[in-house]
Amino acid sequence: MSSFFSSVRPITLVVLTLALGGVAAAADQLASFPPLIVPATSEHRPGKFIWADLFATDPLAASAFYCGLFGWTTQVITQHGKAYTVFSLEGRPVAGLTPRPASKAPRPSRWIPYLAVADLSATLALIPPASGQVRAGARDFPTRGRQAIVADNEGATVGLLESASGDPADVDSRPGEWNWFELYVRNPRVVAGFYHQLFGYDVAPDLRTERKDDFILSSGGLARAGIAPLPARDDAQSGWLGVISVTDLDAALLRTVTLGGEVLLTPRPVAYESRFAIIADSTGGSVGLVEYVDHANPADRP
């Protein structure tokens, strides 16, 4: 997804510490995952983040929260004997939700992003030799494709998806859609090497920051994600943070609280006069929110 966040990283170390730590639902039915692309194409963009799943301890509460916040709608389907919720925006699938066992953890629910791969089996074979772990092996979903969940060499979890219908085009995200993904780790340089080796990313320093350990992951000539350092805290954990675009950040934060969520990071300015915040949903899953202003994209500036 091409975006303002493809060229600017807004997140600070304070953000990292906080980040880690009306529903239109259809009746439950036996159905297939909707394909990512309709009609299907032969376009594939390895390294592009194309999906995200929320693993939630209270699916109904999480569904109500995200539908109320972003205007998403839901369809509950059954796959391999388990309920799975597909979130859509104006009829286009944007994310999924799967139930997770109850936990006493402070934030028991979590989002996991999925990046596109050309050959899932070949990629999974490379994970253990590179000091990663396969957390959930390959599963086939005829209309969706093949997917798995792995952990990188610092334990951060990420999904892999070999799409059966092609990958989404590189276009600017709209409000309510994923805009950027940022990975926070203790050793960004070493972890960047893992993603270069396993997924073919081009890795470059982020020259817009003063730190020497901020990196941009690119593929197909476009920035796909960022890697930044964790603060030196015992309770900081490596992980991915997804960012969703909103039209009005203040209104979105008010709705967050009304819907039972929490504002983890209050709004702060980022590059080109845009604004950024981090929230937790009513079940504990954390996401970033960004509001653009006119001409926020450098390409649109005079």
The 10s digit of each residue's pLDDT in 152-210 is 999 999 999 999 998 999 988 899 999 999 999 999 999 999 999 999 999 999 876 66
| pLDDT above 80 (res 274) | yes
Q: Which long-range contacts (CB under 8 A, 24 or more apart) does 155-158 make?
A: 155/237, 155/238, 156/183, 156/184, 156/185, 156/191, 156/238, 156/239, 156/240, 157/112, 157/239, 157/240, 158/112, 158/113, 158/114, 158/115, 158/240
Q: How far apart are CA 43 and CA 66, in angstroms?
A: 30
- Give the pLDDT mean for 291-296: 69
| Single pTM value for the model | 0.86
Quickly list DSSP for 250-271.
HHHHHHHHHTT-EEEEEEEE-G
What mean pLDDT is reported for the chain?
Answer: 85
Name which of 138-147, 190-199, 265-274 the model is least confident about. 265-274
Q: For residue 7, which amino acid is it?
A: S
* Per-residue confidence (pLDDT) for residue 103, from 0 to 100: 65
Domains of the chain: 4-300 (3.10.180.10)
| pLDDT above 70 (res 16) | no
Q: Which residues pair with 99 in a beta bridge?
A: 56
* Per-residue confidence (pLDDT) for residue 11, from 0 to 100: 43
Name which of 44-58, 92-106, 132-146, 213-227 the model is least confident about. 92-106
* Per-residue confidence (pLDDT) for residue 31, from 0 to 100: 54
* Per-residue confidence (pLDDT) for residue 105, from 0 to 100: 60
pLDDT in tens, 72-126: 999 999 876 788 999 999 999 999 999 988 766 656 799 999 999 999 999 999 9
